[in-house]
Amino acid sequence: MIIFKRVVQSPIHIRAKRCLSSRASGILSALNISLDKDIEGVYDGEWKGSGDIIESSCPATGEVLARVKTASPAEVLEALAKTREAYLHFRNVPAPRRGEVLRQIREGLASKREELGALVTLEMGKIRTEGVGEVQEFIDICDYALGLSRMMNGRVIASERPGHSILEVPNPLGVVGVLSAFNFPVAVYGWNLALSLTAGNATIWKPSPTTPLTSIAITSIIAQVLKNNNLPGAIAGLVTGGQQVGEAVVRSTDVELISFTGSERVGRIVGQTVVSRFGKSILELGGNNASIVMPDADLSLAVPGVFFGAVGTAGQRCTSTRRLFLHRQIASDFLERLQKLYGSLKPGDPLEHNTLLGPMHTREAVNLYANTVSHLRSIDADILSGGEIYSLPSPFDGGNFVRPTIAIPKSVNMKDRIWSTETFAPILNVAVFEDLEEAIGWNNAVPQGLSSSLWTRDMRNLGKWIGPSGSDAGIVNVNAGTSGAEIGASFGGNKSTGWGREAGGDSWSQYVRWSACTINFSNEAPLAQGVNFNND
Ligand code: NAD
């Protein structure tokens, strides 16, 4: 989706002290974010920023939280050079020692877990438990990477030649550029930073232009740990800004690996640019995720599971449930129960602990929601729930609240736009199927392949679903919703979702440079495959 970015071209300006709501000022102060001056949004060992100013706004109220000085083109180049220099130093630090640095980062994050979670809520808009959950995810991946720092093993391979051995050796890769999306402003960077750092790389982060404060708060904590360990700050550099800053990082031949999380549209451009310079990329792009409910499913699990998948984070997760396929036998019962849950939802301040429905991130996202609903109406879809934009009393009258929507389009042709594109908003499209093969066909018929879930108690359905004729997505769940992954398994999707894998599993092996080393410890020098290059 297109990010709404307010750019104010004013390198020199004078402004009066702002009056920030106490709701916002308490959270910013707890993280030492200045309330009365523009904030530097570049870190390469020193804090700076002389590029465009971007405003960070609160999606729940519309209040401008801060103005951030982003990276100028020269500052991006300088940060890239410093990151490379930092890598040249850091690659020689032993991996377990790097793990110890990660342990300290973990402690730094844990000591500010609630405050950082509140900042995510304030700036991104997701409800508080999810904001804190994101910080917890960063803490979890630090634990994981600390363990990895003693387990990033290579291999010894049997050689066909006598007196020879072959080793597969992992070494640090270089500089890793992390470009992240607005909807996970902490966790996605965490997955990348933790693995990249334990692998011995330096990382440069280009966060979403609408969540700069979160990236600054996170980077400040990491910078302090690096400083305490006498390590260069550019091991974890930060360049805030918009498209141009992102393009400069992606184009740079000083960056070995670009890990990009965002839309399919931008991912396609990023992927092509990186390939054209023979760089490596990890692409984590849009999803269009389906839940399938069989007649034997336990609806007391399935209904709340689908409800969270479709409505959690106000439908702004890459893994949000966007398509729901119900078996004819349970369809009306399921929808009745689901509509009841939708009816109980109340929008509100995402900072309040009992709020389940926060705002959309931007005005543009609200427009996307409204346009999609009016398209659904124009194609005669049944709108069972929602379809409206909320207007809340002050101070939330400037917020981006929409009513989660359930729709039944007339057509079940998955090539139709309403089924085949990811609409990053809480809109759930429903279709009714007769047998599992039909539903799996629909699940697989869209360009994206991120997450999918089947609700059943029948082992035969399960076997089919996770087997060769089953779901073609990267995440294939059973009796668990499409969203809410843990860091232990590798995370990512197939097809137009980009084939990337991050976090657990063997994702770490992408962050290292692999060498195959043949070692001859004999007194002969035979060639492989019995080749004889000798006239005797
Ligand atoms: P986006 O594609 O608009 O932006 C992502 C990042 O790319 C931002 O930092 C942006 O500034 C930068 N960017 C924009 N144009 C660029 C260019 N030409 N070159 C380099 N960088 C550029 O995405 P968004 O709206 O922030 O995030 C929502 C999207 O992200 C959704 O499609 C969602 O599904 C996807 N997402 C995917 C995953 C996953 O793991 N698969 C996770 C989170 C979000």
Spacing of C-alpha 288 from chain mean position: 15
Task: Select which of 78, 130, 134, 284 is catalytic.
Answer: 284
Q: CB burial class (10 A; 0-12, 13-18, 19+) of residue 22?
A: exposed
* Mean pLDDT of the region 445-472: 98
Which DSSP string corresponds to 157-168?
A: EE-SSTTEEEEE
Reported pTM: 0.96
Coil, strand, or helix at residue 398? helix
Contact 476/452 with Cβ under 8 angstroms? Answer: yes
CA distance to 159, 218, 412, per residue, from 214 (Å): 51, 6, 41
In the 8-state DSSP scheme, what is residue 527?
P
Q: What is the pLDDT of residues 475-528, one digit of tens each?
A: 999 999 999 999 999 999 999 999 999 999 999 999 999 999 999 999 999 999
Q: Is 285 in the pocket of ligand 1 (CB under 6 A)?
A: yes
pLDDT of residue 12: 37
232 vs 535 pLDDT, higher one: 232
Residue 280: closest CA among 127, 401, 177, 167: 177
* Mean pLDDT of the region 40-69: 98
377 vs 35 pLDDT, higher one: 377
pLDDT of residue 61: 98
Distance between CA 88 and CA 256 in Å, rounded?
13
Amino acid at 83: T
Coil, strand, or helix at residue 389? strand
Q: What is the pLDDT of residues 297-311, one digit of tens each?
A: 999 999 999 999 999
Residue with tokens 């087997």: 467
pLDDT of residue 36: 87
Q: Which two tokens stand for residue 44?
A: 């390469």
* Residue 351 neighbours by CB under 8 Å, 6+ apart: 23, 60, 118, 121, 122, 128
Contact 284/449 with Cβ under 8 angstroms? Answer: no
pLDDT band, very low/low/confident/very high, at 13 (cuts 50, 70, 90): very low
Nearest atom in ligand 1 to the alpha carbon of residue 1 is 25
Q: Is the pLDDT of residue 343 over 60?
A: yes
Q: What is the pLDDT of residues 322-341, one digit of tens each?
A: 999 999 999 999 999 999 99
Q: Is the pLDDT of residue 16 over 60?
A: no
Coil, strand, or helix at residue 78? helix
Distance between CA 520 and CA 239 in Å, rounded?
46
Q: Is 269 in the pocket of ligand 1 (CB under 6 A)?
A: yes
Q: Is the pLDDT of residue 4 over 60?
A: no
Q: What is the pLDDT of residues 229-271, one digit of tens each?
A: 999 999 999 999 999 999 999 999 999 999 999 999 999 999 9
Q: Is 262 in the pocket of ligand 1 (CB under 6 A)?
A: yes
Distance between CA 360 and CA 490 in Å, rounded?
28
Residue with tokens 């965002």: 262
Q: Is 286 in the pocket of ligand 1 (CB under 6 A)?
A: yes
Q: What is the pLDDT of residues 83-138, one digit of tens each?
A: 999 999 999 999 999 999 999 999 999 999 999 999 999 999 999 999 999 999 99
Nearest atom in ligand 1 to the alpha carbon of residue 266 is 2
| CA 523 to ligand 1 centroid distance, Å | 56
